[in-house]
Amino acid sequence: MTPVDTMAELGAVAGTARLYTADEPLELVGGGRLEVVDVAYETYGTLNSTGSNALFICHALTGDAHAAGQRIGDRRPGWWDNLIGPGKAVDTDRWYVVCANILGGCRGTTGPSSINPATGQAYGLDFPLLDMADFVTVHRRLARHLGVERWAVLLGGSLGGMQVLQWALSHPDEVDNAILIASSSRLTAENIAFSAVGRQAIMRDPEFCNGRFSDAGTSPDRGLSVARMMAHITYLSEKAFSEKFGRAAQSGTLAPGFGIDFAVESYLEHQGESFLTRFDALSYLYLTRVMDYFDPFAAPDALDALRADPVKFLVMSFDSDWRFATSQSRRIVQHLEHAGLPTAFREINSPWGHDSFLLALPAYHATIQAFLDRAFDEVRG
Amino acid sequence: MTPVDTMAELGAVAGTARLYTADEPLELVGGGRLEVVDVAYETYGTLNSTGSNALFICHALTGDAHAAGQRIGDRRPGWWDNLIGPGKAVDTDRWYVVCANILGGCRGTTGPSSINPATGQAYGLDFPLLDMADFVTVHRRLARHLGVERWAVLLGGSLGGMQVLQWALSHPDEVDNAILIASSSRLTAENIAFSAVGRQAIMRDPEFCNGRFSDAGTSPDRGLSVARMMAHITYLSEKAFSEKFGRAAQSGTLAPGFGIDFAVESYLEHQGESFLTRFDALSYLYLTRVMDYFDPFAAPDALDALRADPVKFLVMSFDSDWRFATSQSRRIVQHLEHAGLPTAFREINSPWGHDSFLLALPAYHATIQAFLDRAFDEVRG
């Protein structure tokens, strides 16, 4: 397949906005403060004259602003290109779609490996601790920058779904509809355990240098790739591993030894190595930790704002997802329904585990599309 | 509880036997050869005059010969002390129980961190690759050393169950009964994936020094503890983690940061650290790799010997074990039943995951006891 420039076809705009400056710094929920915050974003389609067709995509842990389209020369399109585009479930002929890299990330938005203007060096572990609400604050500022006053739809999977939930809980007056996919309102002990071991692999890497690795000219690649390999196992189902790899040899027949021999080993090795080209060890620490602490329904008044300004929810899960299991989506639904909020829930049958949310599964995309069709009718109505 | 010396009460004997020497080296299935092999073992109870009451315990990946009893001053009894002892399910008043550390281990039996007599240095990665059948070969030699000609029962969990299966398949004429618990005849791709990432954590540790860490005066502690922490997550069920830890703070209330904060993090940290005091990085590589390659039923003649000399099998699994799931035990049962062999199968209800096999669950121990009661009646009959 020859790469084509679908960015033009999408009416795509890519940019980086400086949203917070020393004059107007960002005060964080945890008490820290950032003097400068840049945000990388992409938009697809056109905001209509009434500003009623804006749809925000919240990306997952290792995602970025490049959700859709393919630039000439790129090996791959955006990470959710199967969902977003003209005539697709998220139809860019209808919706003005915005996706932005998250605060603390490493794909254009300010994060712990960005340069601290106060020191001229990377922040490292001096970067302040983040909260899910900080992600929302920054993306709300981006909305104002883009001239969006109201989101017809927020849409996100995994960590992205958590951000959607936070946004809908704290600013429901700016949101009409919210779609949460393979997400959670509160990680389980097992979830936290997996993330904790990944962080240990990174922090114990001698090249982590207590977070000062870029100053030291080192890079905790070993730790980060081990963390990614381990996490990746949890993003697929046991059945997916069996069907994709089974006990097949990587080349010809099995040749016992400690090198890469089984095909599944080669796959994980590739996942670990390719991750190094696009992700940063410090962002991995900061973003996973935000997920660990996220527990919005623990606040007794969590649903008060939503009760006053109801948002329509669609919550989805995949039956083979054991990392963010259906039970975690059901828990969100129970809280929302307890507050009397309109909530649709759908568990999709899929053998592929947590990463199903990135796949073009017909029942999955059809469910999103039907929800968006109704939302779009209301926009026009 | 004051530690008491239950070793005497068990009629326990602990020892190390030199079973292979330069005059009579061990030839390995994979083509390698060991000039000297020592085996650490313990025995409990007394071999009767006809030698008909011998019961061998095969230990799991990180187990050792100290299966039962407690020495004065020891913090803990043997790893299967809740199962083995006078009046217990494995009744040492009836059975002569033997447990020995596995070839390639690090708890008294020759392994990759033992001294190579040819060089005076640790073998490291020069240690030959091992096969499940090599474990059996060495323990059969130990049997002769102890005067045991025939095993009334072989009993093992996890890797131990895999060894029991290999033993019963290759030498059924020396075995009457075999009990396999939470075991497998063939690891899944996901199983291999978890072990592969653990090995990567070890081998990528700069202190691994290509396996020459003891010569180098280093120790790949970071990698080994990360491997252990990750593996330990897979030994418990999600429910077990939730019930034991939930989202509780380690001390008082949660205090966001990158240190140990959640109780589950403290638990994993402890698992990783305490593992370093009792296990060796090279043994971890060698033993997990034997498990990866184990696939005895792949041989067309695998069951021929067993058909000629039937062994009575009891195969058990735990419903919450997702590492060595019930489906893996059922697969063993299907192969055995296809060969017309007497096989009992029991899935035990337990919320604790793979590590259930180490717990004193009444239905679990009662099932073993009933099987052994029948076996003992046949010994006497």
Contacts of B269 in chain A (CB under 8 A): 200
Question: Choosing from A280, A317, A354, A355, which is the catalytic residue?
Answer: A354
How confident is the model at residue B10, as a pLDDT?
A: 93
Q: Establish if A148 belongs to a structural domain.
A: yes
In a domain, B283, yes or no: yes
Q: Are residues A239 and A172 in the same domain?
A: no
In the residue annotation, A242 being an active-site residue is answered as no
Residue B131 and residue B30 in contact, taking contact as beta carbons nearer than 8 Å: yes
Chain B nearest-CA distance from A248, in A, is: 9
Of A259, A288, A317, which one is at a domain's C-terminal end?
A288
Lowest mean pLDDT segment, chosen from A166-175, B1-10, B233-242, B343-352: B1-10
Percent share of chain A, pLDDT over 90: 96
Where in the sequence is the domain holding A266, given as residue range(s)? Answer: 191-288
Lowest-pLDDT range of B185-194, B354-363, B371-380: B371-380
Cβ-defined contact of A197 to B129 (cutoff 8 Å): no
Asked if the Cβ–Cβ distance from B293 to A226 is below 8 Å, we say: no
- Contact of B157 with B172, CB cutoff 8 Å: no
How many domains are contained in chain A? 2
Annotated catalytic sites of B, by residue? 158, 321, 354
Residue B3: pLDDT over 60: no
User: What's this model's pTM, rounded to 2 decimal places?
Assistant: 0.96
Is residue A17 domain-shared with residue A119, that is, in the same domain? yes
- Give me the residues of chain A with pLDDT under 50, please: 1
Nearest to B192 among A262, A293, A325 (CB): A262
Contact across the interface for A293 and B256, Cβ inside 8 Å: yes
Residue B381 pLDDT more than 70? no
Q: Which of A224, A255, A288 is the last residue of a domain?
A: A288
Query: Min CA distance, A82 vs chain B (Å)?
Result: 27
Q: What is the pLDDT of residues B26-70, one digit of tens each?
A: 999 999 999 999 999 999 999 999 999 999 999 999 999 999 999
Q: Residue B2: which pLDDT band, with cuts at 50, 70 and 90? A: low
Whether the CB-CB separation of B356 and B321 falls below 8 Å is answered with yes
Q: Is A247 within a domain?
A: yes
* Contact criterion met (CB below 8 Å) for B329 and B182: yes
Mean pLDDT value across chain B? 96
B147-187 per-position pLDDT tens digit: 999 999 999 999 999 999 999 999 999 999 999 999 999 99
Judgement on whether residues A104 and A49 belong to the same structural domain of the protein? yes
Looking at the structure, tell me whether residues A65 and A97 fall in a common domain.
Answer: yes
Residues B37 and B162 both lie in one domain:
yes
Q: Are residue A181 and residue A132 in the same domain, yes or no? A: yes
pLDDT of residue A73: 86
Q: Are residues B227 and B242 in the same domain?
A: yes
Most A-contacting residue of B191, B209, B230, B354 (CB-CB within 10 A), to test interface: B230
Instruction: State the pLDDT confidence band at B106, using cuts at 50, 70 and 90.
Output: very high
Residues of A within 8 A of B295 (CB-CB) are 247
Residues of B in contact with A192 (CB under 8 A): 247, 262, 264-265
More confident: B381 or B288: B288
Q: Is residue B356 part of a domain?
A: yes
The answer on A153 and A105 residing in a single domain is yes
* Nearest beta carbon to residue A295 from set B186, B197, B247: B247
Contact A189 B230 (CB under 8 A): no
> How near does any CA of chain A get to the CA of B38, in Å?
24
User: What is the separation of C-alpha A369 from the centre of its chain, rounded to a whole number of angstroms?
Assistant: 20
Cα→Cα distances B73→A48, A113, B3, B274, Å: 78, 51, 6, 18
Q: Residue A96 CA to chain centroid, in angstroms? A: 19
The two three-digit tokens of residue B343, written as one number: 């096989």
Residue A293 located in a structural domain: no
Q: What is the pLDDT of residue A72?
A: 87
Query: What pLDDT shows up at residue B379?
Result: 83
ipTM of the complex: 0.96
CATH code of the domain containing B268: 1.10.1740.110
Q: Is residue B329 part of a domain?
A: yes
Instruction: Give Cα B380 distance to the centre of its chain.
Output: 29
User: Helices (DSSP H) in chain B: which residue ranges?
Assistant: 6-9, 132-146, 159-170, 189-203, 213-216, 221-235, 238-244, 263-276, 281-293, 304-308, 326-338, 362-380
Q: State the catalytic residue, choosing from A158, A214, A237, A329.
A: A158
Based on the domain organization, do B143 and B117 belong to the same domain?
yes
Pairing, β B54-58 against β B151-157: parallel
Active site residue A373: no
Residue at A294 is within a domain = no
Q: Which residue from A205, A258, A268 is facing B289, i.e. has the nearest CB?
A: A258
In tens, the pLDDT along B67-83 reads 999 998 888 999 999 99
In a domain, A339, yes or no: yes
- The alpha-carbon gap from B340 to the nearest alpha carbon of chain A, in Å, equals 27
Dihedrals phi, psi of B120, to nearest 5 degrees = 75, 5
For residue B111, the domain's CATH number is 3.40.50.1820
User: Looking at the structure, do residues B166 and B150 belong to the same domain, yes or no?
Assistant: yes
Rounded-to-5 percentages of helix, strand, coil across chain A = 40, 20, 40
Tokens of B230: 């990750």
Two tokens, residue A254: 């099995």
Q: Are residues A20 and A144 in the same domain?
A: yes
Q: Any residues with CB less than 8 A from the CB of A127 and at least 6 apart, and which?
A: A32, A104, A111, A112, A116, A282, A286
Kindly compute the dihedral angle of the four CA atoms of residues A186, A192, A198, A200, in this order, to the nearest 10 degrees: 130
Q: Provide, as residue numbers in chain B, all residues whose Cβ is less than 8 Å from the Cβ of A193.
A: 233, 241, 264-265, 268
Chain A partners within 8 Å of B199 (Cβ): 258
Residues B247 and B283 in one domain: yes
